[in-house]
Amino acid sequence: MRVRAILWTVIMGYAGFLLTGQGLHTFNGTSITEALLGALTGFLLAVMFTLRERRRRRPAFITYPITDILPWASPDDRRSDPNVKN
Protein backbone atom coordinates (compact mmCIF):
# COMPACT_ATOMS: atom_id res chain seq x y z
CA MET A 1 0.00 0.00 0.00
CA ARG A 2 2.73 2.45 0.92
CA VAL A 3 4.67 2.11 -2.32
CA ARG A 4 1.50 2.31 -4.37
CA ALA A 5 0.30 5.40 -2.48
CA ILE A 6 3.66 7.14 -2.86
CA LEU A 7 3.98 6.35 -6.57
CA TRP A 8 0.42 7.36 -7.48
CA THR A 9 0.62 10.55 -5.45
CA VAL A 10 3.94 11.68 -6.91
CA ILE A 11 3.15 10.71 -10.49
CA MET A 12 -0.30 12.30 -10.51
CA GLY A 13 1.03 15.42 -8.80
CA TYR A 14 3.67 15.74 -11.50
CA ALA A 15 1.05 15.11 -14.21
CA GLY A 16 -1.14 17.82 -12.71
CA PHE A 17 1.81 20.21 -12.74
CA LEU A 18 2.57 19.37 -16.36
CA LEU A 19 -1.05 19.87 -17.40
CA THR A 20 -0.88 23.54 -16.43
CA GLY A 21 1.45 23.95 -19.40
CA GLN A 22 3.54 26.55 -17.62
CA GLY A 23 6.87 25.01 -16.69
CA LEU A 24 9.36 25.96 -14.01
CA HIS A 25 10.02 29.53 -15.19
CA THR A 26 6.43 30.58 -14.33
CA PHE A 27 5.91 28.68 -11.10
CA ASN A 28 2.78 30.32 -9.65
CA GLY A 29 -0.36 29.52 -7.70
CA THR A 30 -2.03 27.75 -10.61
CA SER A 31 0.87 25.32 -10.90
CA ILE A 32 0.79 24.62 -7.20
CA THR A 33 -2.98 24.14 -7.19
CA GLU A 34 -2.91 21.74 -10.12
CA ALA A 35 -0.03 19.78 -8.58
CA LEU A 36 -1.93 19.46 -5.29
CA LEU A 37 -5.13 18.40 -7.04
CA GLY A 38 -3.17 15.83 -9.06
CA ALA A 39 -1.50 14.54 -5.89
CA LEU A 40 -4.87 14.25 -4.16
CA THR A 41 -6.28 12.39 -7.15
CA GLY A 42 -3.29 10.04 -7.15
CA PHE A 43 -3.65 9.33 -3.45
CA LEU A 44 -7.35 8.58 -3.81
CA LEU A 45 -6.65 6.28 -6.78
CA ALA A 46 -4.05 4.42 -4.72
CA VAL A 47 -6.56 3.93 -1.91
CA MET A 48 -9.22 2.79 -4.37
CA PHE A 49 -6.97 0.22 -6.03
CA THR A 50 -5.72 -1.07 -2.68
CA LEU A 51 -9.26 -1.57 -1.39
CA ARG A 52 -10.20 -3.29 -4.64
CA GLU A 53 -7.27 -5.69 -4.31
CA ARG A 54 -8.21 -6.52 -0.71
CA ARG A 55 -11.84 -7.05 -1.69
CA ARG A 56 -10.84 -9.49 -4.44
CA ARG A 57 -8.71 -11.50 -2.01
CA ARG A 58 -11.59 -11.84 0.45
CA PRO A 59 -13.76 -14.95 0.32
CA ALA A 60 -17.23 -14.79 -1.14
CA PHE A 61 -20.05 -13.08 0.72
CA ILE A 62 -21.76 -16.24 1.95
CA THR A 63 -19.30 -18.91 2.97
CA TYR A 64 -21.45 -20.55 5.63
CA PRO A 65 -24.26 -23.06 5.13
CA ILE A 66 -27.68 -21.50 5.23
CA THR A 67 -28.58 -23.63 8.26
CA ASP A 68 -25.88 -21.86 10.28
CA ILE A 69 -27.32 -18.48 9.37
CA LEU A 70 -31.00 -19.44 9.66
CA PRO A 71 -31.22 -22.39 12.06
CA TRP A 72 -35.03 -22.56 11.88
CA ALA A 73 -34.80 -23.23 8.13
CA SER A 74 -33.10 -26.57 8.58
CA PRO A 75 -34.56 -29.27 6.28
CA ASP A 76 -34.12 -31.88 9.05
CA ASP A 77 -36.59 -30.07 11.30
CA ARG A 78 -39.42 -30.41 8.78
CA ARG A 79 -38.95 -34.15 8.44
CA SER A 80 -38.98 -34.74 12.18
CA ASP A 81 -42.18 -32.76 12.70
CA PRO A 82 -45.02 -35.29 13.28
CA ASN A 83 -47.67 -32.85 11.99
CA VAL A 84 -46.20 -32.75 8.48
CA LYS A 85 -47.81 -35.23 6.09
CA ASN A 86 -45.83 -36.62 3.17
Q: What is the domain partition of the chain in residue ranges?
A: 2-73
pLDDT value at position 44?
A: 92
At residue 41, the pLDDT reads: 92
Mean pLDDT by 10 residues, the chain (86 residues): 84 86 75 88 91 78 66 57 56
**CA dist., res. 8 & res. 62, Å (int):** 34
- Among 15, 45, 43, 46, smallest CA distance to 31 is for 15
Query: What's the predicted TM-score (pTM) here?
Result: 0.58
* pLDDT of the residue at 43: 92
User: Which DSSP string corresponds to 8-71?
Assistant: HHHHHHHHHHHHTT--GGG--HHHHHHHHHHHHHHHHHHHHHHHHHHHHHSPPS--S-HHHH-G
